[in-house]
Chain A
Amino acid sequence: MSTASERAAATAGRGSPVAPEAPALSPRAATVRAFLALLERDAWVTFRRDLAAFLAQSLMQPLFFLFTFGRVLPEIGAAQGAYGKQLLPGILALTLVITALQNTSLPLVIEFSFTKEIEDRLLAPLPAALVGLEKIVFASLRATVAALLILPMAAVVLPGGVDLGSVSWLGFLALLVMGSLAGASLGMVLGTAVPPNRINVVFAVFLTPLIFTGATFYPWQALDGLRWFQVITLINPMTYVSEGMRSALTDGPTLATGWIALGIVAATVAFAALGLKGFLRRAVD
């Protein structure tokens, strides 16, 4: 037995001899590195572990929406041939928002309750809120990839293909970023608001209305004759993403750009604040 002071003097070889000394980083530098390392971990998992699952999870539903509404309905005469042109922006928005939402909320539920694996990340040298923010950022990246993959898929499935002639690329890019962030933030709200065993109920109650009231399958303007419903759809953040996509990809009439930007930004800020608050409540008892 040695005394505490003798031991304190013998700090030379902490850990294994092959180990380099721990990087002496300032808390700020450590935070940046840790945040990037969390992204690296998620990227590794996405591309090395569950690429197929990720693609299936995010692309199956939009693929069948495109096929059924954009191809089958026009061919059997239940919709006009040009419908696909209106549908594509909506499906892009849907993929973006729903993928981001699911990729935030589902892992959160699992990692907080069943596997507890988030604990190791909460002990990484960065503020706990940034662990939550990383979840939002990465889910947004996944959603952006999924949305971009919709384009070649649509080119094959839709009878008229995809016409990128009149695309406003800057607007499209901004929508990819903001639309996915809005969806991911909403996912964080849903994923932290209820006990894990209730997430199925939340999805059943929120997801379906979100999909079908988001101006996904028709331009918002087309609801002029259904005024009460048109107003209700303005509560759904997806409406602004769909209309934004429509405005960036087509030259038909859409909600005014100012309203679109306001709707998306306001939703993102509100959901992110609420979601991160919920995340912290889970992360720190």
Chain B
Amino acid sequence: MAIIEVDELRKRYGPSGPEAVSGVSFTVRRGEVFGLLGPNGAGKTTTIGALTTRVRPTSGRVAVDGIDVQRDPVAVKQRIAVVPQRPNLDRVLSALENLTFHAAYFGYSRGDRKRRALALLDEFGLAGREGDRVDNYSGGMAQRLMIARALMHRPHVLFLDEPTTGLDPQSRLFLWDQIERLRREGTTILLTTHDMAEADRLCDRIAIVDHGKRIALDTPAGLRDLLPGARGVELTVVHPSDPAPALAALGDVETSAQEAGRWHARLYGEVTPAQALAAVDRMGAEIVDLRRIEGTLEDVFVQLTGRDLR
């Protein structure tokens, strides 16, 4: 069942500006980790804004948990949490107070706020720093604190806008673990990123957006299949003659001769390494190297969105 629905969303900032989002539709299932991928300016943050009451759609409908965001923003806000692209911590408050007041806004009692805040600070590696002013926090710490804050009121849906941009590798791995844990616990997550490895690893499904339009929507594996000739096997063999005829039965073949009687062959199609090995065996060639060809998500992304700088 869909917990997030975006239907023909359009957004134009100001009466004369260009459309930031022009007719995007997708749904996110309960418990899913859904990725919104796209270059800078693609409309990712605007889409999240519309879902989180911060952007008024020019047209189209967005709903969370079946509730129209425009019609009942308060009920939507009760169910969601947002970790924004840029830090927005309450800078006059300490780290602990950032969490406790956030929980207060959501109606938690004094005792519950403090208990939960301390537990989350501990979980996010911030124990011992709870009294610090957030001004003194590093970028990674601030990011972790914002995620802890988002979890204070146990949201059903968590929006993460470029959560790992600018983080060091440790913080990034930590965040990935947290996202996987939240997924196991049933939280629906919508995240934006332009890190393909991240999207590939975390997301159940991915929508690629560019210039305010959705240009693809699939599982990471499904997206990789979009690249023409993206699958197959690449091998190097020693054989007196061109191995192309012997391999042609398995799929499309490209070969090239190399020094010392070696041949390099690329076999495209649904070929398993075992099938390729068997064919090499049959022709009496010696195998030197074998590698699976798999388009990366990065290739797909560049193929779909082009190489222009944004």
- Interface residues of A, Cβ cutoff 8 Å to B: 2, 4-5, 7-16, 18-23, 25, 27, 29-31, 33-34, 37-38, 40-41, 44-45, 49-50, 115-128, 283-285
Contacts and interface: CB of A to CB of B under 8 A. Distances in A.
B54 A284 contact: yes
Contacts of A23: 106-108
B184 A15 contact: no
A101 to B, nearest CB: 20
Contact of A119 (B80, B88, B120): B88
B30 interface: yes
A23 B13 CA distance: 36
Interface string B98-110: 0001101111100
Given A27-B74, A285-B56, A123 B154 contact: no
A47 B31 CA distance: 43
Contacts of A29: 107
Given A7-B183, A19-B116, A123-B52, A40 B154 contact: no
Interface string B114-138: 0110011001000000000000000
B177 interface: no
A44 B80 CA distance: 26
Contact of B204 (A4, A27, A33, A285): A4
Nearest to B146: A120
A285 B105 contact: no
24 contacts: A4-B32, A7-B184, A11-B31, A11-B185, A13-B185, A14-B156, A18-B115, A20-B108, A22-B107, A27-B78, A30-B74, A33-B105, A34-B106, A37-B105, A37-B107, A38-B105, A41-B101, A115-B89, A116-B86, A117-B89, A119-B82, A124-B77, A128-B53, A283-B54
B225 interface: no
Given A37-B101, A124-B77, A127-B74, A8 B31 contact: yes
B185 A14 contact: yes
Q: Which 10 A-B pairs have the closest CB atoms?
A: A11-B186, A124-B105, A7-B31, A37-B104, A116-B88, A8-B31, A27-B74, A33-B107, A23-B107, A119-B88
Nearest to A283: B54
Contacts of A45: 92-93
Contact of A30 (B78, B91, B101): B78
Contacts of B149: 120
B220 to A, nearest CB: 11
Contacts of A4: 29-32, 204
B86 A30 contact: no
A78 B92 CA distance: 45
B53 A40 contact: no
A4 B81 CA distance: 20
A127 B73 contact: yes
Given A16-B120, A37-B104, A117-B91, A10 B154 contact: no
Contact of B74 (A16, A121, A125): A125
Nearest to A127: B74
B269 interface: no
Contacts of B77: 123-126
A38 B97 CA distance: 13
B90 interface: yes
Contacts, number: 157
B82 A123 contact: yes
Given A4-B32, A116-B88, 12 more contacts: A7-B184, A7-B186, A19-B112, A27-B74, A37-B107, A50-B92, A117-B88, A118-B88, A119-B82, A125-B77, A126-B105, A285-B54
B55 interface: yes
Contacts of A128: 53, 73
B66 interface: no
Nearest to A131: B105
B13 A285 contact: yes
A123 B74 CA distance: 9
A22 B115 CA distance: 13
A120 B88 contact: yes
Quick one: which of A11, A12, A120, A124 has the most chain B CB within 10 A? Answer: A120
A18 B152 CA distance: 12
Nearest to B56: A284
Contacts of B73: 127-128
Contacts of A5: 31
A102 B229 CA distance: 65
B30 to A, nearest CB: 5
B162 to A, nearest CB: 15
A116 B87 contact: yes
Given A116-B88, A123-B77, A285-B49, A30 B107 contact: yes
B295 interface: no
B179 to A, nearest CB: 13
B75 interface: yes
Contacts of A15: 116, 151, 154, 185
A123 B51 CA distance: 11
B84 interface: yes
B153 interface: yes
A18 B116 contact: yes
A248 to B, nearest CB: 35
A118 B186 CA distance: 29
A225 to B, nearest CB: 49
A284 B204 contact: no
Nearest to B82: A123
Interface string B22-60: 000000011110000000000000000100111110000
